[in-house]
Amino acid sequence: MTTVMAELDELHALSLQGLEAAESGEALEEWYRATLGRKGTVQLQTRLVGQLAPEERPVFGRRINEIKQALEASYEERREQLRLAEMQAQMKAEALDVTLPGRRQWRGRLHPATSTLREIYRIWGDMGFQVYRSRDVETDEYNFELLNIPQHHPARDMWDTFHTTTPGVLLRTHTSPGQIHAMREYYPEPIRVILPGMCYRYEQVTARAEMQFHQVEGLAVGQNITMADLKGTLTAFARRMFGEERRVRFRANYFPFTEPSAEMDVECVLCGGTGCRVCKYTGWLEILGCGMVHPTVLRNGGYDPERHSGFAFGMGPERIAMLKYGIEDIRYFWANDLRFLEQF
């Protein structure tokens, strides 16, 4: 009996030495399996109870249970020590020097096309125009026929159209169909609206042309509206957008949904009108098309052209942004290149 108890005490001491030698979580778990596991050294000692006299067995049992409990407690203590040591080592490795300057937090910003659109909204809002939105998917009737562009009209060659698989349904080539929607909704009240939205044209993508682009249409309908109202309104817009000192001019043009029609130029913002490569040495940059609403379009919208008149205009926010900021390639707006976007 004395020999067996001495062996238990020796086992206890050796197990504690092995526990202290464990320097990592993996080594600690290996010690646990070898010492307190189902096939560990302490568990194997319990088999000796069969070799003892009946009166010695309770003493042996108590002693081996005391050793198991003591080793379990030592194991938990050692595991906590290793956990704290590992945490301290990690904190030391990841320590922050609070005296270092902080890292710059990158902030989002508006896309130049979006900021230009918002500026356009603000200017026209100050003039009493409200935003009216219409659908991107249109019918041939609204996109062409009600705008005085019937089937086989040569003006249809001005737009290369994305047609859908449904006959007569297409992606709008301009925001002008919104004029008909607005007039039919507001008739017989006077109208002052801008119609922003995306347009789609099946054409070659170049530095000056994209197959998708924003457009802002404008429409004013009422009584006694004249070409002078159109010129005065657009001149006020151009000076708000490009500067009070900027000169503007109107050139006669043709659009099937306005009569008379014109294009509006603004003095080149880069050369100040002296001539440069961007303005092709003319000193002028085109910014929009405009004109008096054609009587046929007024009639299709529900208004009597004998009593009502109106003007309309259309501009491209990307083009205005290109002129305002000196951007030479419209494809930059859709490339998502941070080198370009971070300049705004």
Provide the strand spans (E) within 62-211.
130-131, 137-139, 169-171, 191-200
Average pLDDT over residues 158-166: 85
Instruction: Using alpha carbons, select from 101, 297, 278, 67 the residue that is nearest to residue 182.
Output: 297
* pLDDT of the residue at 71: 78
Please tell me whether residues 32 and 148 are part of one structural domain: no
- Whether residue 106 lies inside any domain: the answer is no
Q: What pLDDT does residue 44 have? A: 67
Average pLDDT over residues 16-35: 79
pLDDT of residue 50: 61
CATH code assigned at 286: 3.30.930.10
On the question of pLDDT at 166 being above 70, the answer is: yes
d(CA 289, CA 270): 21
- pLDDT at position 119 is 95
Question: pLDDT tier at 116 (50, 70, 90 boundaries)?
Answer: very high
Q: Which of 312, 104, 311, 132 is nearest to 224 (CA)?
A: 311
Domain identity same for 172 and 239: yes
Residues 88, 116 share a domain: no
pLDDT at 258: 95
Question: Domain check: are 128 and 211 in the same one?
Answer: yes
Instruction: Give residue 196's pLDDT.
Output: 95
Residue 329 has a pLDDT of 83
* Entry pTM: 0.67
Within 160-270, where are the H helices? 177-186, 227-242
Between these two residues, 259 and 97, which has the higher pLDDT value?
259
Is a pLDDT exceeding 70 seen at residue 15? yes
Q: What is the pLDDT confidence band of residue 129, given thresholds at 50, 70 and 90?
A: very high
pLDDT at residue 24 in the model: 82
Claim to verify: residue 149 and residue 87 sit in the same structural domain: no
pLDDT, tens only, 276-316: 776 778 888 888 999 999 999 999 999 999 999 999 999 99
Provide the mean pLDDT of the chain. Answer: 86
Structural domain harbouring 19: 2-93
The whole-number pLDDT of residue 289 equals 95
Q: What is the DSSP letter of 224?
A: S
Kindly indicate the confidence band of residue 56, based on its pLDDT and cuts at 50, 70 and 90: low
Residues 146 and 63 in one domain: no
Q: Is the dihedral of CA 186, 164, 148, 232 positive or negative?
A: positive
- Residue 84 inside a domain? The answer is yes
- Res 6 pLDDT > 70: yes
Whether 100 is covered by a domain: the verdict is: no
Is 117 inside a domain boundary?
yes
- Answer for the pair 309, 223: CB distance below 8 angstroms, yes or no: yes
CB 110 within 8 A of CB 143: no
Give 81's pLDDT tier (boundaries 50, 70, 90): confident
pLDDT at 87: 84
User: Once rounded to an integer, what is the mean pLDDT over residues 173-195?
Assistant: 95
- Give the tens place of pLDDT for each residue, 196-241: 999 998 888 887 778 888 999 999 999 999 999 999 999 999 999 9
Same domain, 180 and 75: no
In a domain, 107, yes or no: no
In a domain, 102, yes or no: no
Are 72 and 142 in a shared domain?
Answer: no
pLDDT of residue 74: 82
The yes-or-no verdict on residue 48 having pLDDT over 80 is: no
Q: In total, how many domains does the chain have?
A: 2
Where is the domain boundary, 93, 120, 144?
93
Same domain, 202 and 320: yes
Same domain, 145 and 35: no
Q: Is 103 within a domain?
A: no
Co-location of 151 and 265 in the same domain: yes
Number of Cα atoms under 13 Å in the Cβ half of residue 45: 26
Residue 181 shares a structural domain with residue 326 = yes
In a domain, residue 39? The reply is yes
Identify the three-state secondary structure at position 127: coil
Residue 68 has pLDDT above 90, yes or no: no
Question: Stretch 144-160: mean pLDDT, rounded?
Answer: 82
